[in-house]
Amino acid sequence: TVSTSIPGYTYGQPEVAQSPISLEALAQLQETILWSEEDVRYLQMAGEVLADQVDEILDLWYGFVGSHPHLLHYFTGPDGQPIASYLERVRARFGQWILDTCRRPYDQAWLNYQHEIALRHHRTKKNQVDGVEAPPIIPLRYLIAFIVPITATIEPFLAKKGHSPEEVAKMHQAWFKSIVLQVTLWSYPYAREGDF
């Protein structure tokens, strides 16, 4: 299901620029992370499992960010205080992203929005969508390191709907691959011209 009522969520809209990464380069990256049709199927399953748990997942992730001042920093204003409206608006888009990760075809529109998310973490576009004065960039090192909590914390949620341990493991593996793929795509604006 596509939600258009989320502020700043522009998936598939004409204002989203074309990704500088080609579909061919995407396919080669997918080969590199051992992506297969099985992963697509298990992510679909994960989407069904996670759909009614999105709020709980976000509570956990926001608890994690909120309890680490060096991470919460990127949501704070010039006075050093967290910007509640920024946290809230990003949270809604983050929730939609969980479902998009599981359900969307990884096609040109997906690739384009991947690039948009990349720019929104990078100084090119951070803070613009929500009109805030928070720090101008999420450092690349945290984007990469965040793969661990985003992957580790999803497993108990995948296991909550009575699937077999094998199914849970396959959903978890597919999730992990997708997060690595996405963070790889998000590193584009951080790399020097020609070095991605």
Between CA 189 and CA 186 the distance in angstroms is 7
Q: How far is the C-alpha of 46 from the C-alpha of 143, rounded, in Å?
A: 23
Tell whether residue 8 is a contact of ligand HEM (CB under 6 A): yes
- Which tokens belong to 56? 């709980």
Q: How far apart are the C-alpha atoms of 141 and 83, rounded to whole Å? A: 23
Find all residues with CB under 8 Å of 13, minimum gap 6, and list them. Answer: none
Residues 6+ apart with CB under 8 A from 179: 101, 147, 150, 151
At its nearest, how many Å lie between ligand HEM and the CB of residue 8? 6
Whole-number minimum distance, CB 53 to ligand HEM, in Å? 16
Residues 34-53 that bind ligand HEM (CB under 6 A): none
Write the binding mask 83 to 122 for ligand HEM: x where contact by CB under 6 A, - elsewhere.
-------x--xx--x-------------------x--xx-
Nearest approach, Cβ of residue 90 and ligand HEM (Å): 4
Kindly state the tokens that stand for 191. 């790399």
Query: Of these, 43, 45, 111, 143, which contacts ligand HEM (CB under 6 A)?
Result: 143
Which residue's CB is nearer to ligand HEM, number 35 or number 74?
A: 74
Q: What are phi and psi of 156, to 5 degrees?
A: -55, -35
Which residue lies nearer to ligand HEM by CB, 127 or 173? 127
Nearest Cα neighbor of 86 from 117, 121, 57, 129 is 129
Question: Is position 170 an interface residue for ligand HEM (rule: CB under 6 A)?
Answer: no
In the complex with ligand HEM, which residue's Cβ is closer, 128 or 164? Answer: 128
Please give the residue ranges that form the binding site for ligand HEM (CB under 6 A).
8-9, 65, 71, 74-75, 90, 93-94, 97, 117, 120-121, 126-127, 129-130, 138, 142-143, 146-147, 150, 179, 183
